[in-house]
Structure 1
């Protein structure tokens, strides 16, 4: 989930960078780039994933 959020943030940052626009005084391309990198780092660290004791498959017997 965090990887999808990071992809959306990176896409928005790319569009803002290509158009030389910004969203207010605080949020610009660099801010969105940093937020996207933070989401990717959290995703790679395993934050937000759920690990079940039985694995991801359940057998029905």
Structure 2
């Protein structure tokens, strides 16, 4: 799930940068990209990968 969030954040960062949209300092393309990298790092670390299945005996 966090991988999808990272992809969406990267897309928004690309749109902000490509369209040269002026935003506030909190939503600059660099900050959105860093949020995407954080979500991607959490995804690779194993957070937000989905439900754990229980083992049956």
Normalised to the residue count of structure 1, the TM-score between the two structures is 0.77
Give the unaligned 5+ runs of structure 2. Answer: none
Give the unaligned 5+ runs of structure 1. Answer: none
Return the offset for 1:25: 2.6
Q: Which has more helix, going by share of residues? A: 2
Query: Structure 1 stretches (4+) deviating beyond 4 angstroms?
Result: none
User: Distance in 1 between the 2:46 and 2:4 partners?
Assistant: 14
> Counterpart in 1 of 2:29?
29
Asked which structure has the greater RCO (Cα within 8 Å, sep 6+), the reply is 2
Q: How many residues align?
A: 55
State which structure, 1 or 2, has the greater radius of gyration over its C-alpha atoms: 1
User: Distance in 1 between the 2:31 and 2:45 partners?
Assistant: 21
SS, match of residue 35 in structure 2: helix
CA RMSD in angstroms comes to 1.6
